[in-house]
Amino acid sequence: MTYQPRNRKAPWYRAKFGEKPKRRVFKPIRKTSRDQSRRLRIYHARVKVWKRDKICAAGGLFFINGKAIRFCSGSLPHKCDDCHHAKAKAGHLLMDERYWIPVCREAHTNIREHPIEARAAGFYIGAWQHAEKATV
């Protein structure tokens, strides 16, 4: 035997919402906002065009404190795969091409793994510096 309420809902309530209240559906939280998703779509399209004819800036040797450091194994000039952000990707810096550096995938990984050497070679720029003072 199922439970039947003694009093049914009012006619206006049944006309508007139906006999039973609707079950609430929970949606997951978005990983990025709609505005940031729009910015990222524009960014990825610009980077795709930007890196079309670029050469890896990390190819060759960098002499840091008397040591020769190589960020990528390719000695000859080769095409870039990635866009390294020397300053950051936050806010307006995402679209600021002055801080974009074309690098190959291997060099990008090495820049991330060795930040001290990369900063000395000019692949990272401090927040207080401007693009004109960058060494790369």
pTM, full prediction = 0.69
Measured CA to CA, the distance from residue 96 to residue 83 in angstroms comes to: 12
* Closest to 114 measured CA to CA, from 124, 103, 105: 124
Token digits for 6? 């003694």
pLDDT of residue 12: 84
The percentage of the chain sitting over the pLDDT mark of 90, rounded to a whole number, equals 24
Q: Scanning the structure block, which residue is given the tokens 């806010």?
A: 91
Token digits for 20? 């039973």
Domain residues of the chain, as ranges? Answer: 32-129
Residues 6+ apart with CB under 8 A from 62: 68, 69, 70, 71, 117, 120, 121
Token digits for 51? 């890196």
- Measured over the CA atoms of residue 110, residue 114, residue 119 and residue 121, the dihedral's sign is negative
pLDDT of residue 3: 63
**pLDDT tens-digit profile of 34-72?**
999 999 999 999 999 998 988 888 887 778 777 777 888
| Per-residue buried b or exposed e for 91-101, using 16+ beta carbons within 10 Å of the residue's own CB | eeebeeeebbb
Distances (CA, A) of 15 to 10, 11, 62, 103, 125: 9, 6, 76, 64, 64
Measured CA to CA, the distance from residue 59 to residue 115 in angstroms comes to: 17
pLDDT along the chain (136 residues), means of 10: 69 79 82 93 95 87 78 81 88 89 90 87 76 52
